[in-house]
């Protein structure tokens, strides 16, 4: 993370004695990235964080990936998917993935188990609904339009709130996820040209302490999954400080960058991971040159696949394609893509786009997960020509 936070009870100096009311020592845990050379936080536990009393295999949901072959653009209808598991972790269905990132979708009404992703950071976008994300650092209250960034190996669980089902779009990295470096000073402060800043980020504000024994934690890791049983409740942290912690950022707090002519997708970037970026398209004033064409030009991103998740509004460039709310468009590298026929002409003179979408661009090809195969409309590739293959 880009700035320091202090929550709960900590000693004046790090790596010094911090005692419980009964005189015993709290257990100090360093949670750090890249060995000891990047962001970290120090947590103070009532119990011993290494303690486990049992471990058994967790059979992960179907992680099978199938190549996008023959190579075609695809339209995936996430709202057509059915969900047997009704929680935001066990209920995830894999839509797309490669070695760097996996994109899953879930519709939930029940709390998740305690969970820890030991493979990489997670960025979970909340399409609809609300929840409390309980973590070892404290709790976050989150809702529609929130990105929730959860650092690797953070023990947490999702607790849906309210009557509306919680719809979550999970972007799981094999690396860390952070704001783009071009938005930050060399010391990590957001710069003046950044479309968001520290004031827009919400982190835990107080410890979350719970009681319990023999608690199960579902751990996702390279090679599969494991259920650890810990002797005491994992939410036993009385205080912590540092620059590594979960936080939330709402898409409505992103300030769009616009210009007289069409701006390229990097102006919409919100986060970055290894070999992928996350961008968002929000309601905004569009190009104001007198001869501007507001919708995107046709483009071949030869080094990347583009995944667009349409969550609100009316996306001008995709009119007539069948794409609507809850849709994903997959435009693979090696195939040019752009507006549907008539969309460019139809956009002339338009001054405002009322659209909200989350985009992931990957620098290695994406394969289709079981949910991607199940939700493919089978027709999108032919939407520019108006006809498909003949018998």
| pTM higher than 0.75 | yes
CATH architecture label of 29-71+80-251 = Sandwich (2.60)
Tokens of 157: 């669980």
> Cβ–Cβ contacts within 10 Å for residue 321, how many?
21
As a whole number of Å, the end-to-end CA separation of the chain is: 55
Residue positions forming the annotated binding site for homogentisate: 315
CA pseudo-torsion sign 344, 347, 353, 356:
negative
Percent of the chain topping pLDDT 70: 99
Alpha helices in the chain (DSSP H): 343-347, 370-375
Q: Where are the domains of the chain?
A: 29-71+80-251, 255-382
CA distance to 218, 223, 259, 265, 319, per residue, from 179 (Å) = 28, 29, 22, 15, 31
3-state secondary structure of 251: helix
Of the pLDDT bands very low, low, confident and very high (cuts 50, 70, 90), residue 391 is low
> Cβ–Cβ contacts within 10 Å for residue 205, how many?
11
Strands 74-77 and 114-117: unpaired
Of the pLDDT bands very low, low, confident and very high (cuts 50, 70, 90), residue 183 is very high
259-286 per-position pLDDT tens digit? 999 999 899 999 999 999 999 999 999 9
CA distance to 21, 45, 82, 135, 308, per residue, from 207 (Å) = 17, 11, 36, 9, 36
Of the pLDDT bands very low, low, confident and very high (cuts 50, 70, 90), residue 320 is confident
49-99 per-position pLDDT tens digit? 999 999 999 999 999 999 999 999 999 999 999 998 889 999 999 999 999
**Residue 317 confidence (pLDDT):** 66
Of the pLDDT bands very low, low, confident and very high (cuts 50, 70, 90), residue 301 is confident
Please state the rounded mean pLDDT for residues 155-165: 96
CA distance to 5, 107, 217, per residue, from 84 (Å) = 39, 10, 21
Domain 255-382 sits in which CATH superfamily?
Jelly Rolls (2.60.120.10)
**Residue 316 confidence (pLDDT):** 67
**Residue 223 confidence (pLDDT):** 86
User: Does residue 167 surpass a pLDDT of 60?
Assistant: yes
Residue positions forming the annotated binding site: 299, 306, 315, 337
Of the pLDDT bands very low, low, confident and very high (cuts 50, 70, 90), residue 16 is very high
What count of Cα atoms within 13 Å lies in the side-chain half-sphere of residue 302? 0
Assess whether the region 29-71+80-251 and the region 255-382 belong to the same CATH fold.
Answer: yes
Of the pLDDT bands very low, low, confident and very high (cuts 50, 70, 90), residue 315 is confident
Residues with a catalytic annotation lie at: 262
25-38 per-position pLDDT tens digit? 999 999 999 999 99
Residue positions forming the annotated binding site for Fe cation: 299, 306, 337
């Amino acid at each position: 993370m880009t700035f320091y936070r202090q929550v709960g009870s900590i000693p004046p100096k790090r790596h010094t004695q911090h005692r419980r009311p009964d005189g015993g020592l709290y257990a100090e845990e360093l949670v750090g990235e890249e060995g000891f050379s990047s962001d970290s936080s120090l947590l103070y536990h009532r119990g011993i964080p290494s303690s486990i009393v049992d471990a058994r295999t967790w059979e992960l949901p179907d992680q099978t990936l199938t190549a996008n072959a023959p190579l075609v653009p695809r339209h995936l209808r996430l709202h057509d998917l059915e969900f047997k598991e009704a929680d935001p972790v066990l209920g995830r269905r894999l839509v797309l993935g490669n070695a760097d990132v996996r994109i899953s979708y879930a519709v939930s009404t029940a709390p998740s188990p305690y969970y820890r992703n030991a493979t990489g950071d997670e960025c979970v976008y909340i399409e609809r609904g609300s929840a409390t994300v309980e973590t070892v650092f404290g709790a976050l209250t989150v809702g529609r339009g929130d990105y929730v960034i959860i650092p690797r190996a953070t023990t947490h669980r999702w607790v849906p709130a309210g009557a509306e089902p919680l719809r979550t779009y999970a972007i799981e990295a094999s690396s860390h996820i952070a704001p783009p470096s071009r938005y930050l000073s060399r010391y990590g402060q957001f710069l003046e040209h950044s479309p968001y800043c520290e004031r827009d980020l919400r982190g835990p504000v107080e410890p979350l302490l719970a009681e319990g024994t023999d608690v199960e934690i579902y751990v996702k890791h390279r090679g599969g999954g494991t259920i650890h049983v810990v002797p005491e409740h994992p939410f036993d942290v009385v205080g912590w400080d540092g620059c590594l912690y979960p936080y939330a950022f709402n898409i409505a707090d992103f300030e769009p960058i616009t210009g007289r002519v069409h701006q390229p997708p990097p102006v919409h970037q919100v986060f970055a991971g290894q070999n992928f970026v996350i961008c968002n398209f929000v309601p905004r004033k569009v190009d104001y040159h007198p001869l501007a064409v507001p919708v995107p030009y046709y483009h071949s991103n030869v080094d990347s696949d583009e995944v667009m998740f349409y969550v609100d509004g009316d996306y001008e460039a995709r009119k007539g394609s069948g794409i609507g709310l809850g849709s994903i468009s997959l435009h693979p590298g090696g195939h040019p893509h752009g507006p549907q026929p008539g969309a460019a002409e139809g956009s002339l003179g338009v001054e405002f786009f009322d659209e909200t979408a989350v985009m992931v661009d990957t620098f290695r090809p994406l394969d289709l997960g079981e949910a991607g195969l199940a939700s493919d409309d089978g027709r999108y590739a032919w939407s520019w020509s108006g006809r498909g293959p003949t018998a």
